Amino acid sequence: MNYFLYATIIILFISCQNNTRPQQDDLKKLQSENYQVQNSDEQNKYRVFDCYNGSQNEMNLCARQEYNYLDSILNQKHNELISMLNTRIAEDSENQNLISLKDRYLAAQKQWIILKNNNVSVVREKYQNGSILPMATDLQKSMDTRNRIDFIDMILEGFQ
């Protein structure tokens, strides 16, 4: 097993097992009839899929669920940042720094989407025709999305 795959599997395992993210309460939103996130106080009580020792299909589904969760958090953070910038620009329409920041952020966001898609293309080439392909691509998207969330959080912290 190569280093990239090993590292991403370890990251997924640790993040699912510990559930220590600041948005831990948001994990409850992921619960559905087919999949429920493991709670530390009720381990395995409601889990339908085994994200760690299950079939490849189960691990693929868990990786997809993780990415969907992170993508929803990213969208919330993005909307929060844009809303905050729009409010501040409306309050001080002469502030060219805020206008420039918003324009640059939106341009960077478009470039980040291209980068994320290119990263997925590389992973797709690497695992072409393999049963691990869906998991590997979703893990890559999750990793890129986590980094983007951290970036947006850093910008938001600068305004508090």
Tokens of 69: 């969760």
Instruction: Name the residue with higher pLDDT: 91 or 16.
Output: 91
How large is the average pLDDT for residues 97-113? 96
Going by pLDDT thresholds of 50, 70 and 90, the confidence category of residue 136 is very high
pLDDT in tens, 15-54: 544 443 434 444 434 433 334 444 344 544 455 667 878 8
Residue 12: both structure tokens together = 């997924």
* Residue 28 CA from chain centroid, whole number: 16
Residue, of 19 and 11, whose pLDDT is higher: 11
What pLDDT score does 76 carry? 98
- The DSSP annotation for the chain comes to --HHHHHHHHHHHHHHHH--STTGGGGGGG--SS--PPPGGGTTSS--S-TTTS-HHHHHHHHHHHHHHHHHHHHHHHHHHHHHHHHHHHH-TT-HHHHHHHHHHHHHHHHHHHHHHHHHHHHHHHTTT-TTHHHHHHHHHHHHHHHHHHHHHHHHHTT-
Q: Is the pLDDT of residue 63 over 70?
A: yes
Percent of the chain with pLDDT over 70: 69
Q: Count the neighbouring beta carbons within 10 Å of the beta carbon of residue 74.
A: 19
Mean pLDDT score, 59-65: 93
Q: Is the pLDDT score of 61 beyond 80?
A: yes
**What's the mean pLDDT when you consider all of the chain?**
79
The structure's pTM equals 0.69
Domain ranges of the chain: 3-157
More confident site: 13 or 104: 104
